[in-house]
Chain A
Amino acid sequence: MSDIIVTKGVKRGFPVAGGETFWALKGLDLTIPEGALTILKGRSGSGKTTLMNILSALDLPTEGEVYLKDLDIAKLSESDREKIRRHRIGFIFQSVALIPVMTAYENVEFALRMAKYDGDRRKRAEECLKMVGLGSRLHHLPQELSGGEQQRVAIARAIAHKPKVIFADEPTAELDTNTGLQVIKIFKELTATEGITIVMTTHDTELMKLGDKVYQLEDGELVE
């Protein structure tokens, strides 16, 4: 199994009062295996979200290199990173972050529009929704769906444009254990059937067992 993401000495500092710098990440070297579910764990404040932001090209490290395949995304411009996010990365957020004025189907289809998906958008959107177990209720607005259903739409949206990597930040935090488990099952299926790499954060120890690889962070450093 090859690694899709490799970081070398990633540091991320935030200026704090008094002209000093708070180091959220203190020089991380890690690898994310392709087509597997990688879990980042850690208490809040451990730096896991900062790390996610950097891995997903939302944020830049203060120091260090981040290779997506062989491309150092830490050296890319804003617009190039936008392109990467648009085509190669999918997001799933903790709070359900669907576009409220779009139906389930439209939310997924919109991701395809964003990524300039070449094929039949309708077919692909429906396919993805089916994949996450939402064959019906396609034309409901997010507010008309339950939390679990909404998160499934979010997953469908994240995978629709066939990204290389999906980042999921606490995707199960607002769901009950059962629903959370189902989400993780979907993730596992996706890695198996579609070959997608998924990076997620969680602090649910039950779910952690399902990860192919688990990293634990503490105070901006990896703990084995």
Chain B
Amino acid sequence: MFNFIFQKILNKKWMVISLLIGNLLMVAVAAANPMYSQAVLQRTLVQEMSDYLTTKNKYPGTIIVRNNYSPFSKEKSLEGLQATEDMLGEMVDELGVTVLEEVRHLYRNNVRAVHEVKVEDGKNEMMAEITSYSNFEDHIQITHGRMYSDEIKDHVIEVVVNERTLVENNLILDEVLELAELPDANGVPYKVKIVGIFEHKTDQDPYWVSSPSYWKEDFVIAENIFREILYNPANTEMGFTAEWHTVMDYTAMRADKVEQMLEIVEKYEIISNDMKVVHMGTYFQETLEAFVPVAQKLNTTILVLQVPIFVLLAAFIFMVSRQMLEIEQNEISVFKSRGAAKNQIIYIYLLQSLIIAGVGILGGIPLGVLICKILGASNAFLEFVQRTALPVEVGPMAWILALGAALFSVGTMVLPVLRFADVNIVDHKRRKNRAAKRPWWQLVFLDVVLLGAGLYGLYSFKGQEEFLAQQVLEGASLDPMLYFSSSIFMLGAGLLILRLLPWLIKLVFVIGKKWWPPAIYASFLRIQRSNNNQGFLVVFLILTVAMGIFNTQTARTINANGEEKIRYVTGADVVLREKWGNNEQQVAEDTTGTLELSYVEPDFGKYQQMEGVKSATKVQVETKVSVSVEKGKINNATVMGINTKEFGETAWFKESLMSVHWYKYLNIISQNANAILVSSNFKEIYGYKVGDALTYTNNAGDSTRGIIYGFVDYWPSYSPVTISRGSDGVIKETDNFLIVAHLSQLQAAWGIRPYQVWMDVEGSTQFLYDYAQETGTKFTVFKDTAAEIVDMKNDPVFQGTNGILTIGFIIVLLLCATGFLIYWILSIQSRTLQFGIFRAMGMSKNEIWSMLLNEQFFISGMSILGGVLVGRIGANLYVPLIQIAYSSADKVIPLEIVSQASDFLRLGIVIGLMIVICLVVLGALISKIKIAQALKLGED
């Protein structure tokens, strides 16, 4: 049996290879889905954790448990200590993350320590904290003296201190202090002797939850001594505190275990509460909690974006297996007529499909890993950068989905057999003789229905942009229905084209019927009269090309829109404001009321001089400016004071935002010192006209006047409307008003007030960070467009979307190429006899070529054109809505559908390449055709 199937596979190698490609891709995509989202989430989680480390300077994998122990009974205290420690141990075990450090810190503070040798002119005692750390010696080094011993001699306990404790308490090495309130069981007080000074070995040691450099009263002793002396019957007021710091390796935390970890933490919070533990907390809980919705959002987004790819893959497998069956139909019918049972035939095909799917799984999983790795390096759509490799692993979810995909594909391959297996040779001939009828989908107008459904989806979302924006504010992901509508639309459009294409071909054919050379005439008849499989190829090509284009345009638009929004809202490459000195304090203390607030202006010129700065300009931005208008008062206007020429050179602005180049506006106000530009809502809401005067008052109560010279819809950093969610949960829109005036005029009216420095920077902005670090300059405003764009690109949902769209595009290209090749190669192979007839009738090879080229043009060419058309229309209709899921809700700048020529070029190259390959293969096939053999004449 296996031999037979093996032979069969060998005979149909083209088919089998393409089925294999389909299976490989399907399994790879299915497996890549969970692997990729897991890996992206893992990277994000670790990133968030390390951000926590850098911003808060706390090691994020830390669990802290603190408890007080009463001094009543030594045994009870030690028992309690052990119980708490055991609980922590269990919790850490359950969390299952690698532990870096386990620190047990015992301490008793406010222990009075009296100098044995009186200190001159100073306090003779201090309040000390007696403390012990487990494994202390491994993390410090002794700078003076020696390490403490772990034995008490003559009631003297040896301690080490840090430098700060030594200095601040006027201690000296080898000095002895008496702990008056810490006696032994017999009431004899212990003494401490300072035998050494220590410092911590390294700064970046997770061992130290609080850095020893801050300690100023700590006497560190050996832990066994601490345990020995902690029971103090003489002083029942004083217990001791134990604190455990368990530091787990945050890079070993797993993104897929986050919810579990949170549950464990919560469980132990309850347990520790029941145990009356004073404090139980972690440094990672907050980060993990914030992470959960991000993970959910990413998972949904990836799933939604992947469904169309799956559908396409399934269609591909279905198409190829049907083509294969079509060719094998004869064989099946013969088997059938010779008495093969239906089950046997199905069994043969099932076995064959299982073999193919099995190979698909074996190869598909590594391919999936490869896809993830490639995606890990993707920065934006089809852009790859060198960055840390994505931690890809083949998890159980990947296996399950891969298996599911393989089974699905087996189903797709076997399903058509059920139909064919019933047909014996007589039926087969009879069926063959029946004229092709219209496909069922045309009869039920599936194309129109799908197109309608897709457009209805679009229409119903169209009115709800605000609602979508609101959902995004609430953290929702891309709406699956919206994305599916776009896919359904494309499918419907593809079918519609398939319905219309024959009419077009017929029209062309009829128009030139008299003049067509015989070869073209024959090929036209063929195109018009051959069976449904050709239709499937048409739809398949339309869909792949349309999806490819749709993907590129979606990704490009989301990326470009995100970037532009950042550039626009920031206003320039860098916007900063130094901390300005002022006489606020003197003004407050001034009782005469005559002293006015004045500022110390930092040097501006240095920014112009910095290497890397192309241009810099002063921009005074005053918010909460009030403007008296006819119907009342605007309180939230923003005034921007600029130097027109420099501003024009420095600020970022997209010219297409306004019908007139924005420099024109700058030129208009440069004519008059009092000229101002105002936002268009002054005109729309309050009816202002050019030439009207406007009086506005800053938050210090100073007023000035300007004459309106123009209205602007957009201006660098200006958002006309802000959408926000109030405390009551209601989404509201706020109109923002803008007045652009001359900086010189503002300074003349209001005095010198803090202004921002806007900069146009060439290349990296690193020099600014270096400058701030070197000089210690503090900024009250610091916006770095490049850094914000990097942040945006690192957002997991953003990254995931680009990644999946990139995968989708690549797969589309692969499928398109293989599907195309398979179809044509098989179609031509099956027509060898016909070519033989044509050749015998005197048709030259060139004429055969022209026949095939004509077919290519009308089937492949038209489909590809149709695909481009459908993809572009689809993108224009749906992308504006889809991108809402990726942008903040503010309708800052209008959306522009972006397409990048290079993507079309890529698509074009691939399509061109596959046509060339196809033609080469066809050429080989055609030249191999021996007319005589083709006609079965050569029997000798």
Contact surface of A with B, Cβ cutoff 8 Å: 24, 44-47, 49-50, 52-53, 58-59, 79, 82-87, 89, 91, 93-95, 97-102, 106, 110-111, 113-115, 141, 143-144, 169
Contacts and interface: CB of A to CB of B under 8 A. Distances in A.
21 contacts: A44-B939, A53-B937, A53-B938, A58-B840, A58-B931, A58-B932, A58-B937, A82-B842, A82-B843, A82-B844, A91-B841, A93-B837, A93-B935, A95-B935, A95-B936, A97-B833, A97-B836, A100-B834, A101-B522, A101-B529, A114-B841
Contacts of A95: 833, 935-936
- 8 residue pairs, one from A and one from B, having the closest CB atoms: A86-B842, A85-B842, A113-B518, A101-B529, A143-B433, A97-B837, A101-B526, A114-B518
Nearest to A115: B842
Contacts of A46: 940
Nearest to B935: A93
Contact of B844 (A44, A79, A97, A101): A79
B432 interface: yes
A82 B848 CA distance: 13
A43 B301 CA distance: 72
Contacts of A89: 842
A114 B843 contact: yes
B749 interface: no
Contacts of A82: 842-844
Contacts of A113: 518, 521
A46 B940 CA distance: 7
Contacts of A45: 939-940
A143 B840 contact: no
A85 B518 contact: no
A60 B833 CA distance: 21
A9 to B, nearest CB: 19
Interface string B171-215: 000000000000000000000000000000000000000000000
Contact of A110 (B518, B530, B844, B938): B518
A86 B433 contact: no
B120 to A, nearest CB: 118
Contact of B937 (A85, A86, A169): A169
Contacts of A144: 433, 435
B327 to A, nearest CB: 15
A50 B842 contact: no
B932 A102 contact: no
B909 interface: no
A24 B837 contact: no
Given A50-B938, A99-B837, 17 more contacts: A47-B940, A59-B932, A79-B844, A84-B842, A85-B842, A89-B842, A91-B841, A95-B833, A99-B834, A101-B528, A101-B530, A110-B522, A114-B518, A114-B841, A114-B843, A115-B842, A144-B433
Contact of A83 (B528, B833, B836, B842): B842
Contacts of A93: 837, 840, 935-937
A175 to B, nearest CB: 16
B165 to A, nearest CB: 100
B525 interface: yes
Q: Which of A83, A84, A100, A115 has the most CB of B within 10 A?
A: A100
Contacts of B940: 24, 44-47, 49-50
Contacts of B528: 101
A102 B838 CA distance: 13
A47 B836 CA distance: 20
B316 to A, nearest CB: 27
Instruction: Give the dominant DSSP class at B's interface.
Output: helix
B842 A102 contact: no
Interface in B728-749: none
Nearest to B834: A99
Nearest to A47: B940
Contacts of A101: 522, 525-526, 528-530
Contacts of A47: 940
A141 B518 contact: no
Contacts of A114: 518, 841-843
Interface in B518-538: 518, 521-522, 525-526, 528-530
Contacts of B836: 97
Contact of A87 (B842, B936, B937): B842
Contact of B932 (A53, A79, A87): A53
Nearest to A53: B932
Contact of B841 (A52, A85, A141): A85
Contact of A86 (B841, B932, B935): B841
Contacts of A97: 833, 836-837, 935
Interface string B839-872: 0111110000000000000000000000000000
Contacts of A115: 842
* Residue of A98, A106, A113 ringed by the most chain B CB atoms within 10 A: A113
Interface in B821-841: 833-834, 836-838, 840-841
B430 to A, nearest CB: 10
Contacts of A106: 525
A83 B844 CA distance: 9
B343 to A, nearest CB: 31
Nearest to B840: A91
Given A100-B834, A101-B526, A110 B521 contact: yes
Looking at B525, B833, B841, B936, which has the most chain A CB atoms within 10 Å of its CB?
B841
Contact of A49 (B842, B844, B937): B937
Interface in B915-940: 931-932, 935-940
Residue in B526, B833, B937 whose Cβ sees the most chain A Cβ within 10 Å: B937
B530 A111 contact: no
Contacts of B938: 49-50, 53
B751 to A, nearest CB: 90
Contacts of B840: 58, 85, 91, 93
Contacts of B435: 141, 144
A156 to B, nearest CB: 14
A49 B525 contact: no
A87 B841 CA distance: 9
A142 B935 CA distance: 17
A129 to B, nearest CB: 17
A93 B933 CA distance: 12
Which residue, of B528, B529, B840, B939, has the highest number of chain A Cβ atoms within 10 A? B840
A211 B372 CA distance: 75
Interface in B611-634: none
Contacts of A100: 834
A98 B838 CA distance: 10
A102 B525 contact: yes
Contacts of B844: 79, 82
A210 B935 CA distance: 26
Interface string B122-134: 0000000000000
B408 to A, nearest CB: 35
B787 to A, nearest CB: 65
A102 B523 CA distance: 10
A53 B525 CA distance: 29
Nearest to B529: A101
Interface in B796-811: none
A84 B840 CA distance: 10
Nearest to A97: B837
Contacts of A98: 837
A213 B836 CA distance: 29
A44 B931 CA distance: 19
Nearest to B527: A101
Interface string B469-502: 0000000000000000000000000000000000
A84 B932 CA distance: 16
Contacts of B433: 143-144
A111 B932 contact: no
Contacts of B932: 49, 53, 58-59
A50 B433 CA distance: 33
Contacts of A111: 841
A197 B585 CA distance: 123
B432 A143 contact: yes
Contacts of A87: 842
A91 B518 CA distance: 17
